[in-house]
A = this chain, B = another copy of it.
Amino acid sequence: MDDERSTAANAQLALLLEVSGTPKPGNVDREREYDDLRFEHFMAGAVGARDGLELATEGTPVGRAFERAVAGMSQQRGGNTQFGALLLVTPLVAAATQGHLSRQGARNVVANTTVDDAVNFYRAFDHVDVAVDDPPTGMEPLDVRQGSDAEPALRDRDMTLEDVMEASATEDGIAAEWTDGFGRTFEAAHGLTQSNGPVTNRASALFLALLASEVDTFVVTQHDAETALEVRDRAQAVLDGDEDPYELAAEFIERDINPGTTADIVAGALFIALERGLSV
């Protein structure tokens, strides 16, 4: 048995390091939590996800591995802790397992997804409530909240998981990564490997930089576009030294503003960086 961390272990560690970064305005971190969504739920979520992540390293198709990771992640009382992070990390784990943890390698994983992967992706929504927008008119049969009930519609339309992601890439930051070779995630990983200091500090600094660079689509879903623009601009104000990150974190928690998509990209970037030798 090799003592080095396996690919699945690096993916699990990425989830744990992501939530350990602080301050991360609006999200649960080591020093901030909600009464019903606590730091301990993220610990249990990362523990439960491990077996599904292992499957992704053993050649199980990404849809199934993701569904299993979500099933394990959801075995805690906080609800959705790492759904988006697992959606981002699972194809990267598959790419790493295939020996091609690169944008092209990730594109190949996405291109090779099947209708079964799409069915399993929908099935994952059976395990946990995820905040999503209502679908456009006529698309109700493909509302992800249908969960496994969407299977006939997916098979009728012959939709692969790549097709599903393309359909929501404009509204969802994770789907956008899926359809763009995970460009923001790889770029963020490069930033992590180039920086210094405690990894959790690098993760929280990356979170702020990403938050200031693009609108967080989860905030759009959870609140509205105006709130998401405000979040982006105030993250920039922190970077400019015009706002205190701790005060902003307290305010966002108070207003229930959770830039979850940005956190998911940090988790994906941490995974890539760990695979590339980032030391903890």
Contacts and interface: CB of A to CB of B under 8 A. Distances in A.
Contacts of A39: 20, 30, 200
B16 A43 contact: yes
Given A3-B75, A5-B48, A71-B3, A43 B31 contact: no
Contacts of A12: 47, 50
A62 interface: no
Interface residues of A, number: 37
Contacts of A20: 39-40, 43
Interface string A46-58: 1110110000000
Nearest to A11: B47
Nearest to A3: B71
A74 B280 CA distance: 11
B68 A1 contact: yes
Interface string A1-29: 10111100100110011001000000000
Interface string A70-114: 011011110000000000000000000000000000000000000
A44 interface: yes
Q: Which secondary structure characterizes the binding site on chain A?
A: helix
Contacts of A51: 1, 6, 9
Task: Give this chain's copy count.
Answer: 2
A190 interface: no
A124 B179 CA distance: 46
B68 A40 contact: no
A40 B273 CA distance: 15
Contact of A76 (B1, B48, B74, B280): B280
A8 to B, nearest CB: 9
A212 B193 CA distance: 44
A188 B78 CA distance: 25
Interface string A189-210: 0000000001110000000000
Contacts of A280: 40-41, 43-44, 76-77
19 contacts: A1-B51, A3-B48, A3-B71, A3-B72, A3-B74, A3-B127, A9-B48, A9-B72, A13-B44, A16-B16, A16-B46, A16-B47, A17-B43, A20-B39, A20-B40, A40-B199, A40-B200, A44-B280, A77-B279
Given A16-B43, A16-B47, 19 more contacts: A1-B51, A1-B68, A3-B48, A3-B71, A5-B47, A9-B47, A9-B72, A12-B50, A13-B43, A17-B40, A30-B31, A31-B31, A38-B198, A40-B198, A40-B200, A44-B280, A50-B50, A76-B280, A77-B280
